[in-house]
Amino acid sequence: MKKTAEILPGYIFPRKYTNYLFSLLFLLYMFDYIDRMVVSSLLPYIKAEFGTSDTKLGLLMSAVYLSIVILTFPVSLIIDRWSRRRTIGVMAALWSLATAAAALTRSFGALVFTRTFIGIGEAGYAPGGSAMISGLYPIEKRSWMMGLWNAAIPLGSAIGVAGGGFIAAHWGWRSAFGIVAIPGLIIALLFFFSKDYKTVKLIRNRTPRIKGAKIEKMKMTTRELIQEFSEKPSLLLTYFGMMFVVFTTTSLLFWLPSYFSREYGIPEQQSSTKASLVMLLALVGAPLGGYLVDRWRRKKLNARLVFPGITSVVAAVFCFLAFVAFKDSVQYIFLLLFGVTVTMFIPAAGAVTQDLVHPGLRATSYAIAVVIQNSLGAILGPIIIGAISERTDLGTALSILPVFVLIAGVLFLIGSLLYKKDIEKVDLIELEAD
């Protein structure tokens, strides 16, 4: 008789298969950001070929996030009500093909158009991936696994920036788009043959009026669906705290290679490599943050908001010292420290978006976070910094970023005071394998 793999408490699949699914999710997130961020190291080449301004160059990043903002919420509804793995597979294939198409463009407008379709593909991935991870692992490991998963962001960003600069220097900037698109497409195809957990019905456990009576399960009304988000202030504060950090990180990821090139007069390939190291050190921040906050949560229930509040304030200090107080090698040290601390918020805040909602609305919850952080943060960030740069200089423009991280820290800390009350409102529903 064939031996069945043991399924541990809190899991819906055997540990080995669960980790296989996580590996696919990690690789897709990494190539998501490789495809998204490769353009930042290509800006000097694109600017030289098309003669565009810094403000227009900002559109190459903002176009991606605009598409994400428009489509994330409707796509998340499909994810929650249909299938996470199928939606993720389709989305990943689409963004990979759009990245490859960017290699064929011959005008700046066409390049912006392909970037728009990259955003269309990426719209459903973060909500779908976060919902899958929240379902695959027990709640006590949620921040840790979200931290490991989100480590793909700085890794993918660093590979995209450094790899794009290397490829452009040797084979031209268009080749960079074509080369980075291939691996993501392969992994997207593998995802179609993976497993998932069953779609969770939107039911609410009604407390019986008669003592000792059985808990009644009723379908959630439209009003209750809205209340699931609107009546939890710590959840709303988390959404906006994430937005202020994303404004900062997106602006920095996009403009840092150009800053090093203009400020210190170093070649484009060297400046992109130097910038990628700042992003790469963020690999430490997200997993470490997830590990520490899950351990702290054993003693302090609201640790998932206290921790990002503290780390965001510390990151704001490092960012201030880097762009206002110091230059040269000392500046770079503080940028590296900023790269570590600014990403520590991700696993804790991401877990909060899953902790505080009905299990059947997890992708929708993360989608709301994505819409808020991208519409007010990621879209506006590169354009605003580019516009300030044109009126002053890029160093002055980047020196305003610490303010946004500081605001994020304050919002997380306020939310921590309300977290315990809000989590008591959440229905506990066990997931099943499909």
CA-CA-CA-CA torsion sign (322, 327, 331, 335): positive
Residue range 314-348, pLDDT digits in tens: 999 999 999 998 888 899 999 999 989 998 998 89
Q: Give percent of the chain with pLDDT exceeding 90.
A: 24
To the question of domain 16-194+220-423 being in CATH 1.20.1250.20, the answer is yes
* Domain assignments of the chain as residue spans, ordered by start: 16-194+220-423
- pLDDT(128) > 60: yes
pLDDT at 137: 86
pLDDT at 428: 67
The one-letter amino acid at 111? L
Backbone angles phi, psi at 58, to 5 degrees: -60, -25
Confidence of residue 408 (pLDDT cuts 50, 70, 90): very high
Distance CA 101, CA 64 (A): 14
Residue range 348-369, pLDDT digits in tens: 998 899 889 887 788 888 888 8
> Quick one: tokens of 161?
């920036």
pTM above 0.75, yes or no: yes
Over residues 24-29, the mean pLDDT reads 91
Q: Mean pLDDT for the chain?
A: 84
- Residues near 48 by beta carbon (within 8 Å), at least 6 away in sequence: none
Residue range 134-150, pLDDT digits in tens: 888 888 888 888 888 88
Q: Is 428 helix (H, G, I), strand (E, B) or coil?
A: coil
- pLDDT(272) > 80: no
The residues pairing with 203 across neighbouring beta strands, listed in sequence order, are 219
Burial class for 23, CB neighbours closer than 10 Å (0-12, 13-18, 19+): exposed
